[in-house]
């Protein structure tokens, strides 16, 4: 219905124009869009299998894609339609601590039937994701995650882009239902919950048609609970443009295999070198065998008759330098425990316990001799200060250490600084050091993103004031 001048006049009349006009008219408070976590049935396994009951955002797997421009405000009313309390964490974003979504640390878990309004600004362009941060080991495994893409202010020079969210699901081979044992001591004490059905964007049959010589941006997100994806390109020439959302100063040519640990992202530019009629692949390597993680059938020639030049770097995000690393205060984080480790005893809830007692409590890992979150932070920092944390892995398992709210750079053996990251994979018997600038004030959790490990001891926090 079009509004006529007369309607407007009439509306004016009902407002009582001419009687009293307030001096200021308050802008209406924008209503946040809902982001509803609920139980849903989705076709996860191949079509001849039954649907799988998952927990998802807006009934989808992966959850609703949130896509904004750099600098945009994101407002979402989290609505909890689950049978369990939950919260939403915006992984990789520099954000107000109150919006970080860590149940028990930055907010209370939202009970079933409850809501919570998230409201923050996306300062940094890049590939991020959001996921449940209460009982994450169960809730993320059930499907509570989605991608959050922040577009660069200026369009990027690619023909198009594809989002690839990698996950593995632990499904009953007959019923295609999720294995309901989320507390399994074996998973917690070993490499975590690993699935038997490996998918991209919620299906094992991802096919994305491409054209010869096309340049694509691939945004890869590892949403798995514990699986470290070993990947390679076939039929593509590719460059790493960004890790964990943050652009590299110089794009890195992809040669051979690369790893994507839980929680990590990588942005690739890939040029289709396979010819029309062939199929390019994102290859997953498992036990030295290659599998197609996503297939890209090459159609007839499009507009591009030749490959492009090496790509220019993506524009850097603001204020990302890590100055004064040499003079920075240093902290140590020693990881111990797990199966085949040599943890004798550690403190749980203020009490010293033997490894056997810890195992009886389904706890297996310690940071600096302490199991799980306590009132004492790993580091007490002032905003703006640079800090270094040396991470010593005295276990036989790899751990994907994720710091909330801040990106860090690795202090390499050469003394140089590595790329910005928010999640670092540290293998058994390795010591790696990170440096970062303490950002927004608040309590920032620092934990292993193998979610069974987080649940059984591998979490601490950094206090910024
Ligand atoms: Cu992506 Cu604390 O997590
Ligand atoms: Cu771990």
| 14-23, 279-288, 299-308, 356-365: least confidently modelled range | 14-23
Enter the tokens of residue 206. 């991802």
CATH number of 160-297: 2.60.40.420
The DSSP code sequence of 262-273 is: TT-EEEEEEEE-
Measured by CA distance, the residue closest to atom 3 of ligand 1 is 91
- At residue 96, does pLDDT exceed 80? yes
Closest C-alpha to 415, from 343, 288, 344, 325: 325
At residue 27, the pLDDT reads 61
| In the chain, % of residues over pLDDT 90 | 91
**In the predicted structure, residue 5 carries a pLDDT above the cut 60:** no
| Residue 99 predicted with pLDDT over 50 | yes
The correct CATH number of 329-464 out of 2.60.40.420, 3.40.50.300, 3.40.1360.10, 3.40.50.150 is 2.60.40.420
The C-alpha atoms of residue 262 and residue 423 are separated, in whole angstroms, by 8
What is the Å distance from ligand 1's center to 93 Cα? 11
Instruction: Please tell me the distance between residue 447's alpha carbon and the centre of ligand 1 in angstroms.
Output: 8
Ligand 1 atom at shortest distance from the alpha carbon of 454: 2
Q: What is the mean pLDDT of the chain?
A: 94
pLDDT of res. 25? 58
Domain residue ranges in the chain: 33-151, 160-297, 329-464
Question: Which of 286, 271, 284, 288 minimizes the C-alpha distance to 236?
Answer: 271
Residue 189 CA, ligand 2 centroid: distance in Å: 9
Is the minimum distance from the CB of 432 to ligand 1 under 6 angstroms?
no
| Residue 97 and residue 53 in contact, taking contact as beta carbons nearer than 8 Å | no
Average confidence (pLDDT) over 105-126: 98
Strands (E), 324-451: 329-337, 345-348, 351-354, 365-367, 379-381, 386-393, 399-403, 408-411, 417-421, 423-426, 431-437, 442-448
Q: Which atom of ligand 1 is nearest to the CA of 131?
A: 1
| ipTM metric | 0.98
The tokens describing 78, both together, are 């989290």
CA distance 219 to 35: 22
Region of poorest pLDDT, from 15-24, 89-98, 295-304, 324-333: 15-24
Q: Which atom of ligand 1 is least distant from the CA of 129?
A: 1
Mean per-residue pLDDT, 73-102: 98
> How far is Cα 99 from Cα 95, in angstroms, rounded to an integer?
7
Using a pLDDT cut of 70, give the percent of the chain over it: 94
Confirm whether 33-151 and 329-464 share one CATH topology: yes
Q: What is the mean pLDDT of residues 277-289?
A: 97
CATH 3.20.20.370 fits 33-151, yes or no: no
Indicate the burial class of 425 (C-beta count within 10 angstroms; 0-12, 13-18, 19 or more).
buried
> In this structure, are strands 345-348 and 258-260 parallel, antiparallel, or unpaired?
unpaired
Taking 60 as the threshold, does the pLDDT of residue 174 lie above it?
yes
Closest atom of ligand 1 to CA, residue 91: 1
Which protein residue has the closest C-alpha to ligand 1 atom 1? 91
């Amino acid at each position: 219905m079009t509004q006529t001048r007369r309607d407007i006049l009439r509306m004016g009349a009902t407002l009582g124009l001419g009687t009293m006009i307030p001096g200021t008219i308050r802008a209406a408070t924008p209503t946040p869009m809902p982001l509803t976590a609920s139980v849903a049935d989705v076709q996860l396994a191949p079509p001849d299998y039954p649907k799988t009951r998952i927990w998802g955002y807006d009934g989808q797997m992966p959850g609703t894609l949130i896509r904004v421009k750099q600098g945009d405000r994101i407002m979402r009313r989290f609505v909890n339609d689950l049978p369990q309390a939950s919260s939403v964490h915006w992984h990789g974003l520099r954000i107000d601590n109150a919006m970080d979504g860590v149940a028990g640390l930055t907010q209370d878990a939202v009970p079933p039937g409850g809501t919570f309004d998230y409201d923050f600004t996306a300062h940094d362009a890049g590939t991020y994701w959001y996921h449940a941060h209460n009982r994450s080991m169960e809730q993320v495994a059930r499907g509570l995650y989605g991608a959050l893409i922040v577009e660069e202010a200026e369009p990027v020079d690619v023909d198009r882009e594809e989002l690839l969210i990698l996950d593995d699901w632990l499904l009953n081979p007959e019923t295609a239902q999720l294995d309901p044992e989320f507390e399994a001591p074996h998973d917690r004490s070993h490499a975590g919950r690993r699935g038997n059905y490996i998918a991209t964007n919620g299906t094992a049959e991802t096919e994305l048609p491409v054209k010869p010589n096309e340049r694509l941006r691939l945004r890869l997100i590892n949403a798995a609970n514990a699986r470290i994806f070993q990947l390679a390109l076939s039929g593509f020439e590719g460059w790493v443009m960004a890790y964990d959302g943050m652009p590299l100063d110089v794009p890195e040519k992809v040669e051979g295999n690369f790893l994507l640990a839980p929680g990590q992202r990588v942005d690739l530019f890939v040029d289709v070198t396979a010819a029309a009629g062939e199929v390019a692949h994102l290859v997953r390597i498992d036990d030295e065998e290659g599998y197609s993680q996503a297939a890209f059938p090459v159609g007839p020639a499009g507009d591009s008759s030749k490959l492009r030049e090496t790509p220019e770097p993506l524009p850097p995000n603001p204020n990302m330098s890590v100055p004064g690393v040499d003079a920075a205060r240093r902290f140590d984080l020693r990881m111990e425990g797990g199966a085949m480790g040599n943890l004798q005893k550690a403190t749980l809830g203020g009490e010293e316990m033997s490894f056997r007692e810890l195992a009886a409590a389904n706890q297996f890992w310690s940071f600096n001799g302490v199991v799980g979150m306590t009132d004492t932070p790993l580091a007490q920092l002032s905003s703006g200060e640079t800090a270094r944390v040396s991470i010593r892995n005295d276990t036989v398992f790899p751990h994907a250490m994720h710091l909330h709210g801040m990106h860090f750079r690795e202090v390499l053996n050469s003394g140089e600084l590595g790329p910005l990251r928010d999640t670092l994979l540290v293998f058994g018997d390795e010591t790696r050091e990170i440096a970062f600038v303490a950002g927004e004030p608040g309590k920032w959790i620092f934990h292993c993103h193998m979610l069974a490990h987080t649940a059984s001891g591998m979490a601490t926090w950094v206090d910024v004031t």
